Amino acid sequence: MPILRFLLLVFASLLSSTANAADFNGYVIETMRFLHDTRGGGGYDLQSYFTQDLKYGDNCCTAHDNCCVKANHPHKSMCVAAVAEVIIEAINRYAERTEDRSVYTKLPARSWTHGTIRDIRAWIFEYSETPSQGAAHAIEVFGLGKRLKFTELKPGDLIKIDRTDGTGHSMFFLGYLDRSAKLLDQYDEQKVAGFKYFSAQGRSRPESGFGYMYGFFDGFCPSDQEMEDPKDGKLGRDCKIKRSSAVGGRIFAPAEWTTEASLKKIEADAIVGLYEQSLGRVMTKRERSLVRRPVNIELMRKLLEKELDRELTPSDLSRYTDMN
């Protein structure tokens, strides 16, 4: 019996360590707190991305002009760029703590600085020539995680919403809220009225920029402009959120990333699309199967390298105007 009990304890410990290893949310949450405390209050501007030049990988920021990921208007940012900055800094935090530098090979700096169909920046920023549906879709396409329903989210997950007035927001989820703005331990259809989140917002507020907010679904909006959060003090409210629009995603631990295989699929999909454009019609299932044969994809990749490496045109993100 003692031996059996010991083996069960060892097995349980292994399961626990595996679960922890697969969870990247802790790094995301730590990073949000760090950014709030050190880069908050920089302002919100739709045309600005990244609050400062960002280091990413080795041999980066050896001089000011050599920083890998450039900010165009330092200190200010907007929500989509804020989500990207959190991801970048969470990866840096992970690499520094674990000494696992392979993350910078799996997702190299150029993917954050360029905007081709093969770069995650084009997908997170929803460039119109990509089929991107936002950050959660981007991390799934690049093999960094998976998309989730709103009912499946936990703190540190990505979330994107639309409002009834046609505007939208991109942020990180931090918990379900009831009508009194109290955090719930889990999703409850009868109790959930909204959620707490982190992003860049508050254009008209003096503390605009990185910050925490309460978001509420259409049909309910607290009368108080600000409410007391037990952890983060007075938080503003964001109302008129369409419940059906709330979708999210979770970033996996880097050991589970499948970026190499995912990039090959991105290229193959792009090649199929380009081939269809040249034909002037949609290919049949059999034709697509023939084109997708590895030998054919490799041949067309070489022929279409210039097009695959073309910088795409950034999209108009004016729908991410700000909270109500």
| pLDDT for 11 | 42
Q: CA 14 to CA 80: how far, in whole Å?
A: 37
The tokens of 321 are what?
């105007």
For residue 308, which of 124, 119, 127 has the smallest C-alpha distance? 119
| pLDDT for 224 | 84
**Dihedral (Cα; 176, 88, 17, 186), 10-degree rounding:** 0
Strands (E), 45-138: none
Residue 237, classed as helix, strand or coil, is strand
Question: If you count them, how many residues does the chain have?
Answer: 324
Residue with tokens 């952890």: 231
For residue 79, which of 102, 117, 45, 56 has the smallest C-alpha distance? 45
| pLDDT for 151 | 97
| pLDDT for 225 | 81
Q: CA 53 to CA 69: how far, in whole Å?
A: 6
Nearest-5° Cα angle at 284, 278 to 287: 70
Q: Report the predicted TM-score, pTM, of the whole model to 2 decimal places.
A: 0.89
pLDDT tens track of the chain, all 324 residues?
456 554 444 444 444 433 344 679 999 999 999 999 999 999 999 999 999 999 998 877 665 555 689 999 999 999 999 999 999 999 999 999 999 999 999 999 999 999 999 999 999 999 999 999 999 999 999 999 999 999 999 999 999 999 999 999 999 999 999 999 999 999 999 999 999 999 999 876 766 899 999 999 999 999 888 888 888 888 999 999 999 999 999 999 999 999 999 999 999 999 999 989 888 999 999 999 998 999 999 999 999 999 999 999 998 888 886 654
Q: CA 271 to CA 203: how far, in whole Å?
A: 41
Q: Please count the other Cβ atoms lying within 10 Å of the Cβ belonging to residue 77.
A: 32
Q: CA 324 to CA 241: how far, in whole Å?
A: 10
**What amino acid is encoded at 71 in this protein?**
A
End-to-end C-alpha distance for the chain, whole angstroms:
62
| pLDDT for 91 | 98
Strands (E), 163-258: 168-177, 183-184, 194-201, 209-217, 226-229, 233-241, 247-251
| pLDDT for 4 | 52
Decide if 275 contacts 293 (C-beta within 8 A): no
| pLDDT for 206 | 63
Give the β-pairing of 209-217 and 233-241. parallel
